[in-house]
Structure 1
């Protein structure tokens, strides 16, 4: 009989990996083929990665679709791994999966998602909800809260947004984001772009640039249900604009986005 660790187990391996089991059903699909379908996934945090990835018991992976990698990406992940190419739906995807050397994770196969590496799978689901970019971190909160604070946004000294009805989004590890109704934003000073991103907590975002050409404004036209309050509202990168809240000018934070916004 196969046994699994309980949801309360959190462990660190000698290689520096942090891992814990998840009780969510996770599926990965390539074309019309389900490559992974697991009710016992394991969340794994690598030392240099701020977000987790999943590793799955071998029994939950279509190993018949995996081949020893022809060009293994040595040094890509923590420890000495065995890499696999994936052959599914008429396509060969190199280095789609790998194993960790940690004894705790023996018998598991990991798949990357989309934050740093493209896993080659087309869709990932936690339960029946599609998830984008990376697995959700169970230690992270994202709360969208309507507010009556007075929020003003300036770009290069010009007032581009002024509202008393923002939605404040509090996300663990990031600055508070201020989502503002379109009617309270000078849209004539912004240009719509083709740039798009995804977030496992919020959904798919579209962007606008300032006249300097930098994508500093975004919106979620169809956000995930947990943050439905931000639907259609506009947010500005605190790192690139000046935001005043209740007459108090906020300092520009330094985050992983800062360099990209210069």
Structure 2
């Protein structure tokens, strides 16, 4: 029988994992099948991975659907001990779950999230809200605050946005993002793309690329048409990658920040 920890303090294992109990009710599904239904999940941070994952007590997992992996992965998930394939009516999802060797996490099973790894469970819920890509980090804040700052955005010397009614989005570990009403953006200078991304804090974003001749990465502008309730203030507003455009706030030019997105943007082909 698994002993459920109750303290909220973050622990460290000899393998370098960080873990912390969560009070959230978490469920994971593949199609219409609920594979995980847990009221005692544990958040786990792997070394050098900035986002957490969940591990669950075995009693709260459909172990009858798990089979020892036919082709277990190597070199993934710090301290992983055993990998499992998920068998759903003959459909085998390879390496969908695993256990950690850490003694602190004995009796727990972790799962891949399809929208993060391309395999694993497709739908995840915290309480009654569906979440995407990864669990939300309790040590991270995301605040969307309406503002009256004067924000100007330029691309290759062309003014593309000018507003005094932005919404500033403050997200731990990332630069401030400036969300601009569509009426204050020269949207005719951009073309919509079929690119979409998911965020556990904001929802699903749609994108636009620059029509100009500058070597600007694709999908430089994004918007959340149906953001999650906590950041509802950014609905339908447009934001630009600070890493690749020039932004001026109240007359002060902002330096282009270096973030995990900097490399991703530099590897994209230009929009024209």
Which range, TM-score by smaller chain? over 0.9
Once the 2 structures are TM-superposed, how far is the Cα of residue 80 of structure 1 from its aligned partner? 4.1
Corresponding residue number in structure 2 for 1:104: 104
Cα 1:75–1:129 change in 2 (3 A) is same
Corresponding residue number in structure 2 for 1:18: 18
CA contact (8 A) 1:114 1:134 kept: no
CA contact (8 A) 1:53 1:113 kept: no
**Is residue 221 of structure 2 the alignment partner of residue 217 of structure 1?**
yes
Unaligned runs of 5+ in 2: 267-272
Corresponding residue number in structure 1 for 2:252: 248
Deviations 1:177-199 (A, max 9, x none): 00000000001111100000000
Give distance in 2, aligned partners of 1:40 and 1:9: 15
Deviations 1:60-109 (A, max 9, x none): 00000000000001111102420000012552100000000000000000
Give distance in 2, aligned partners of 1:96 and 1:50: 21
Once the 2 structures are TM-superposed, how far is the Cα of residue 48 of structure 1 from its aligned partner? 2.0
SS of structure 2 residue aligned to 1:258: helix
Larger mean CA deviation between 32-41 and 111-120 belongs to 111-120
Give distance in 1, aligned partners of 2:65 and 2:8: 33
Give distance in 2, aligned partners of 1:57 and 1:239: 41
Corresponding residue number in structure 1 for 2:270: none
SS of structure 2 residue aligned to 1:85: strand
Corresponding residue number in structure 2 for 1:150: 150
Corresponding residue number in structure 1 for 2:171: 171
Deviations 1:208-230 (A, max 9, x none): 01134511100000000000000
Give distance in 2, aligned partners of 1:114 and 1:174: 24
Q: When the two structures are aligned, how many residues end up with a matched partner?
A: 262
Once the 2 structures are TM-superposed, how far is the Cα of residue 117 of structure 1 from its aligned partner? 1.8
Give distance in 2, aligned partners of 1:232 and 1:18: 37
Normalising by structure 1, we get a TM-score of 0.97
Once the 2 structures are TM-superposed, how far is the Cα of residue 115 of structure 1 from its aligned partner? 6.6
CA contact (8 A) 2:28 2:37 kept: yes
**Is residue 190 of structure 2 the alignment partner of residue 186 of structure 1?**
no
Once the 2 structures are TM-superposed, how far is the Cα of residue 32 of structure 1 from its aligned partner? 1.0
SS of structure 2 residue aligned to 1:215: coil
**Is residue 82 of structure 2 the alignment partner of residue 82 of structure 1?**
yes
Which structure 1 residue ranges, 4+ long, deviate > 6 Å from structure 2?
none
Corresponding residue number in structure 1 for 2:242: 238
